[in-house]
Amino acid sequence: MKTDKNLYTLIMAGGIGSRFWPLSRTGFPKQFHDILGTGRTLLQMTFDRVRQVCPPENILVVTNARYADLVLKQLPELGPEQVLREPYMRNTAPCIAYGTFKVLSKNPNALFLVAPSDHLILDQKEFNDIISVATKRALDSDDLITLGIQPSRPDTGYGYIQHTELKTPSDARVRKVKTFTEKPDIKLAEQFIESGDFCWNAGIFLWKGSTISRAFDKHLHDMYVAFSEGNAVYNTPEEAKFLEKTFAECDSISIDFGILEKAANVSVVLSDFGWSDLGTWGSLYAQMQHDKQGNAVVGEDAILQNASGNIINLPKGKLGVVRGLKDYIVVESDGVLLICPKADEQEIRNIVNDIRITRGEKFV
């Protein structure tokens, strides 16, 4: 696939992935794990994917400073200057602002593909095609483009996008965004599916640098001013000092809430390329091979007796016997054992917060 020399990819790799606890921990988050058993971590799989649509030298990984060495170890193809180090975790809007203004300071014609580091996409060819469609829309308009996934079920763990037809679409898959809804209850999710004009929000974006810059100016003006002030120091030894001050003073806010839900110029490209955000153990279970009893197992020494529908993840060399369990999550990692019904997986984040309060940072 021919790539545009002005296209840059920002891979966002600074999250902790607390819903994948205890495998995903503050010191070693899920994007750095080979959780699918493919021989490549989620970060490496993301890099492999985007290098087919973007020049490798234009791929930037934005991550917390503590993970920079881990990124370079897993992606030796990158130069140190391609790893953007955030001094503090401040959600996706500051992450994107940093990468955007840093690149625009040297290439004002830049386009940006923004992608999480921990998603699964099975159909590379379809992904490439969708990126081509989104790129054309971004170049032909001043729209902010998001990718929407055709929903297969009324899932309450995803954000939803309501869309309407464009007046003059160049491709029927490109629609105008009407509303965003974050994680509806099951009744509302069912109504969304029945209506036929909702899709899942994949959290993957494409836009011109000039377009997203103006959006920051309009909707997150203080953040726009803060990161614009770095134009003189980006790509110089003074950058780290500037970032320390800027991120310390920056609000923690998502790009969805800070800009996309407020902007009128948002389009969505309806996509179907085998996507999962792998946000929970349940979403991972859906992507794994199952035995005859419906168990999905990672680990060579798991013994299952009268057990069905479970997801089990054990470290190498650890023997585990699971008897009489149905539809459970059983995970051991680095001295922590989790046994939890799959139906309660959305509570894992709360469990982690409770442990942080009662036991400190050691186990999270």
- Asked if residue 354 has pLDDT above 70, the reply is yes
- Asked if residue 341 has pLDDT above 90, the reply is yes
Nearest residue to 1 via CA among 77, 55, 42, 43: 55
pLDDT, tens only, 111-168: 999 999 999 999 999 999 999 999 999 999 999 999 999 998 888 888 999 999 887 7
- Asked if residue 87 has pLDDT above 90, the reply is yes
* pLDDT on residue 283: 87
- Asked if residue 310 has pLDDT above 90, the reply is yes
* pLDDT on residue 300: 83
* pLDDT on residue 294: 97
- Asked if residue 3 has pLDDT above 80, the reply is no
Q: What percentage of the chain exceeds 70 in pLDDT?
A: 99
> Residue 4 — very low, low, confident or very high, per pLDDT cuts 50/70/90?
confident
Rg (CA), the chain: 21
- C-alpha–C-alpha distance, residues 170 and 41, integer Å: 36
One-letter amino acid of 319: L
* pLDDT on residue 2: 63
Mean pLDDT of 315-339: 94
Nearest residue to 278 via CA among 288, 293, 292, 266: 288
One-letter amino acid of 334: D
The number of residues making up the chain comes to: 364
Tokens 């503050």, residue located:
26
Mean pLDDT, all residues of the chain? 94
- C-alpha–C-alpha distance, residues 242 and 285, integer Å: 43
pLDDT, tens only, 249-286: 999 999 999 999 999 999 999 999 999 988 889 889 98
List the domains of the chain with CATH numbers: 7-276 (3.90.550.10), 282-359 (no CATH)
pTM attached to this predicted model: 0.93
Mean pLDDT of 221-233: 97
* pLDDT on residue 1: 58
